[in-house]
Amino acid sequence: MRPAPALRPSSVSRVLCARRVASFHRYVSYQAPRSVAELLQWRPGEKADDVVVNGFVRSVRSMKAHRFVTLGDGSSLAPLQALVQADHAEGLAVGAAVRLTGSWVSSPGAAQSHELHTPEYLRTLPHLRPRTPVNAVLLRLRSEAIASLTQFFAARSFTQTHPPIITSSDCEGAGEVFTISPANDAPAQDGSQDSFFRSRKYLTVSTQLHLEALAQAVGNVWTLSPVFRAERSDTSRHLSEFYMLEAEMSFVDDLGPVMDLAEDMLRSLSTNLIGTATVQDLLFRSRHSGSDLLPAEDVKRRWEGLMQKDWPRMTYSDAVTLLQQKSDMFTHKPTWGAGLQSEHEKYLAEYVGGGEKPVFITNYPRDIKAFYMRETHTAGPDTPGPTVDCFDLLVPEFCEIAGGSMRVHQLAPLLDAMKRQGFAKPPSEGDPSEVSGGGLDWYVDLRRWGCPPHGGFGLGFDRLLSYLAGVQTVRDIVSFPRWYGRCDC
């Protein structure tokens, strides 16, 4: 049980004196309703006699001849308060969908409503969870973020695309994949054949490879697409299904413009949304409005960090040197050639960005990164081994929020990289029908018929929203989360 948000001054001073309650077990005629958010923004002087408002009852408190009802419709964190005559309020219970008609007038007192459920309990009721006030704010945040990003990319002539969800390849990305088959087929005996698509197909883990093909058509592309991982991890950071924002730019020669794009995008997003009622609901809610939410002042600091200019960019090699100077702070010894541990990333996000700005760490060792990343040609002679033109974007506390790279755009180096990383049979060799290296012959083919230098990045959209909302568990930012062992509704 946790206390509800404090009411805003305007709503404390106002109450709807309902003359009529239509609850929806009967058919009612249609009148133009107001949203709760709209009413709460009226100034104290304003009043009206024939206000109609729709919503769900959040609480009912009995008084002598009246019921004191709070009502939410998802448009605001704060509820509407309504004074309903007892005989109109018969049977009015929490959760009921009602339409109230009445006068919107001043009220002398303040009141409190309550949220009755813990986030863990609500996660077991995903179909009802969004009805709670905080979850409605999270839905609106997602919607406004999508609209803002759509505008950002349209203004830069990036083409929004719909890369495929069902793919032929199972070899990109580190995660486990899901395979699909028609529900009315008998399961294949050897697990390798499927009568519907003639060979085994998978749910995409990243749209990047297809985006590269589309970027050759129209230059710069992006997508906000569901992706899937069959990881058997039950941590607060893992989902089996989530949305990924991916962008790809053609005819860029180095990583600079790719990092610029990621930085501009996040700065534009935070700058555009900070003034909205939705984000104000997040930033100025009561300190006590949810134990699972980061305190509002910490959330505010995250938004302000993204709005800053000139995010630091540091190479992996310099980062390792820096970490080695602080070696005694860490459980894992920082070593060139190994991945950065979470404790290392936390330190870098705190130290390099001053605990405020996000930080780009670039040029990781080639051998711990994906085959499609382009090798660095400008690395200094002191670099201990080959690196690739890539970056991870780290934000304070949360760490990695996006990653990107230049892609290998020439045929021979790509085939070399695939061999090195153990693709059994690079598609260019031998009979194409024998290709078993993950169905990537078409991807290699893109390098055969004219391929410009290109690069891009991917960002876990649900993780970004968690970060922006101060939601501690990514499962709580998704309405119907799916993870290992759980897919309700």
In angstroms, rounded to a whole number, what is the distance separating the alpha carbons of residues 143 and 284? Answer: 20
Q: How far is the CB of 93 from its own copies (least distance, A)?
A: 8
Considering only residues 218-237, where is the footprint of its own copies by CB under 8 A? 218-219, 221, 225-226, 228, 230, 232
- 82 lies in the binding site for its own copies (CB under 8 A): no
Helix 296-307 / helix 461-469 crossing angle, nearest 10 deg: 120
CA torsion 370→371→377→381, rounded to 10°? 70
From the CB of 84, what's the least distance to its own copies, in Å? 16
Sign (positive or negative) of CA dihedral 290, 291, 296, 300? negative
Part in contact with its own copies (CB under 8 A); list of ranges 11-19, 153-161, 397-405, 413-421: 153-161
**Subset of residues 450 to 479 that bind its own copies, contact rule: CB under 8 A:** 450-453, 478-479
Shortest distance (Å) from residue 410 CB to its own copies: 7
Q: How many residues of this chain bind its own copies (CB under 8 A)?
A: 117
CB of 416 to its own copies, least distance (A): 16
Whole-number minimum distance, CB 309 to its own copies, in Å? Answer: 21
Contact flag: residue 179 with its own copies (CB under 8 A): yes
Q: Is 350 in the site for its own copies (CB under 8 A)?
A: no
Query: CB of residue 296 vs its own copies: minimum separation in angstroms?
Result: 21
Q: For residues 37-76, which are near its own copies according to CB under 8 A?
A: 54, 56-57, 73-75
Which residue reads 């990164």 in tokens? 369
Please state the separation of Cα 400 from the chain's center in Å. Answer: 13
Q: Is the CA virtual torsion 280, 127, 163, 363 positive or negative?
A: positive
User: Measuring CA to CA, which residue among 331, 355, 351, 352 is closest to residue 342?
Assistant: 331
Residue selected from 14, 34, 67, 201 as contacting its own copies according to rule CB under 8 A: 201
- Residue 445 in contact with its own copies, rule: CB under 8 A: yes
CA separation for the pair 35, 75 (Å, rounded)? 7
Give me the phi and psi of 152, to 5 degrees please: -55, -50
User: 8, 10, 17, 35: which one contacts its own copies (CB under 8 A)?
Assistant: 35
Pairwise CA distance, residues 66 & 140, whole Å:
33
Minimum distance, C-beta of residue 8 to its own copies, in the bound complex (Å): 19
Read off the DSSP letter of residue 376: P
Using a 10 angstrom Cβ sphere, with 0-12 exposed, 13-18 middle and 19 or more buried, the burial of residue 184 is: exposed
Is residue 30 near its own copies by the rule CB under 8 A? Answer: yes
In 244-315, alpha helices (H): 255-273, 277-283, 296-307
**CB 326 → its own copies: shortest distance, Å?**
36
Stretch near its own copies under the rule CB under 8 A, chosen from 290-298, 343-351, 422-430, 439-447: 439-447
- Assess 338 for contact with its own copies (CB under 8 A): no
In angstroms, give the least distance from the CB of 109 to its own copies: 26
Q: Which is nearer to its own copies, 65 or 186 (CB)?
A: 186
Work out how close the CB of 332 gets to its own copies at its nearest, in angstroms, rounded to a whole number.
28
Stretch that binds its own copies, among 42-50, 140-148, 349-357, 363-371 (CB under 8 A): 140-148
Give the Å distances, CA to CA, from 350 to 245, 398, 469: 25, 11, 20
DSSP states of 392-406 as a string?
A: EEEETTTEEEEEEEE
Residues 377-406 that bind its own copies (CB under 8 A): 377
Q: How many CA atoms lie within 13 A of 343 on its CB side?
A: 11
Q: Does 410 bind its own copies (CB under 8 A)?
A: yes
Looking at beta carbons only, is 157 or 436 nearer to its own copies? 157
Question: Which of positions 1-20 make contact with its own copies (CB under 8 A)?
Answer: none
Handedness of CA 323, 325, 331, 332 (dihedral sign): positive
In the complex, the smallest distance separating the C-beta of residue 194 from its own copies, rounded to whole angstroms, is: 10
> Given candidates 200, 238, 346, 419, which one binds its own copies under the rule CB under 8 A?
200
Pick the piece of the chain touching its own copies (CB under 8 A) from 134-142, 364-372, 390-398, 430-438.
Answer: 134-142
Select the residue interacting with its own copies from 48, 86, 110, 217 (CB under 8 A).
217
Q: CA 244, 246, 247: angle at the middle one, nearest 5?
A: 165
Helix (H) or strand (E) holding 104: strand 97-106
CA-CA distance, 202 to 318, in Å (whole number)? 39
Subset of residues 276 to 305 that bind its own copies, contact rule: CB under 8 A: none
